[in-house]
Structure 1
Amino acid sequence: MTRPHYILLPVSPIFIGFSLLCAFLLNLLPWGGLTGVPDFVALVLVFWGIHQPRKVGIGVAFFMGLLMDVHDASRLGENALAYTLLSYFAIMMHRRVLWFPLMTQALHVLPLLLLTQSIQLLVRFLVNGNLPGWTYFIESPVSVALWPCVTWMLLAPQRRAVDRDHTRPI
């Protein structure tokens, strides 16, 4: 408990929408079938579900899932179901996760991302009977490796002081 705890400013709903839009646009990029490219929408949804559960909830996750379903041309509801459950579990454990340091938070996020991929895999298997190789699950550890960077970027606008007073430590 030697690290300082900063009081964060309230997050702007415009910034939340902008971060979700950027994550969606990153998912739209043609990665050329690269293995291990993270699902940026899932990563940003789990971040906001943990840090701002009242502003980004299950409805936003469902909407983003439908957008990803349309983009991926997958079964309508596959990503929506996975993102909805991801958001639910992130909201359910948000108080506990915030007490841990950043790397421990990343370890708490890993099962959520693996659950999201497992649900997507189960739906695909039930519909067409195909199972991808074991490299399908590399996406979640790559996303967990990006967790500290994503946390730093998305919390940066909240760390600035409204009025800079050099006599105050906060």
Structure 2
Amino acid sequence: MNRPHYILLPVSPLFIAFSLFCAFLLNLLPWGGFVGVPDFVALVLVFWGVHQPRKVGIGTAFFLGLLMDVHDSTLLGENALSYTLLSYFAIMLHRRVLWFPMLTQAMHVFPLLVLAQTVQLIVRFFVSGKLPGWFYFVESVVAVALWPLATWILLAPQRRAVDRDHTRPI
């Protein structure tokens, strides 16, 4: 109970759009043969679904999923379905997750990311009849390991003081 509780400023909708755009650009990079590269769009969608559920919702997740479907040349709607479910469950859990410390938050986010990957796996299995193996879920483990870093980066603009006063502790 000794952790500091910050009074956060309201988040700018431009910063939310910028962070989602940057996550989309990270997903566009040619990671190719690397195993365990996380889905940055899914990670940022979960973050904003937990922290700002009224500003980033299911419609945004569906749109970004369609963009990722076009980029990945996958079945149209595969990523859209998984991102929509991911966003729905993140919004559903957002009040609970914010009460916990960072490690426990990551443990709450892990099943959500695994669920999104499982939905993609099921859709791919129905289309192609092939299973990729267990290394497919390493992406979720790496994304959960990046959760504290993503939280620190995405909450940084909200932590700054409006008017800096060195005599106040807040």
Q: Which residue of 1 aligns with 2:155?
A: 155
Matches within 5 A, 1:5-154: 5-154=5-154
Name the % identity.
81
Provide the rounded CA distance (Å) in 2 between the counterparts of 1:90 and 1:77: 19
Structure 1: state its 5+ residue gaps.
none
Structure 2: state its 5+ residue gaps.
none
> Alignment RMSD, CA only?
0.6
Q: Which amino acid aligns with 2:97?
A: V
CA shift at 1:133, angstroms? 1.2
Provide the rounded CA distance (Å) in 1 between the counterparts of 2:166 and 2:26: 39
CA shift at 1:2, angstroms? 1.4
Q: Which amino acid aligns with 2:19?
A: S
CA offsets, 1:72-112, max 9 Å, x none?
00000000000000000000000000000001100000000
CA shift at 1:32, angstroms? 2.1
What is the TM-score normalised by the length of structure 1? Answer: 0.99
CA offsets, 1:112-136, max 9 Å, x none?
0000000000000011111101100
Runs (4+) of structure 1 moved beyond 4 Å? none
CA shift at 1:167, angstroms? 2.1
Provide the rounded CA distance (Å) in 2 between the counterparts of 1:86 and 1:117: 10
What is the TM-score normalised by the length of structure 2? Answer: 0.99
Report how many residues are paired. 170
Provide the rounded CA distance (Å) in 2 between the counterparts of 1:62 and 1:163: 38
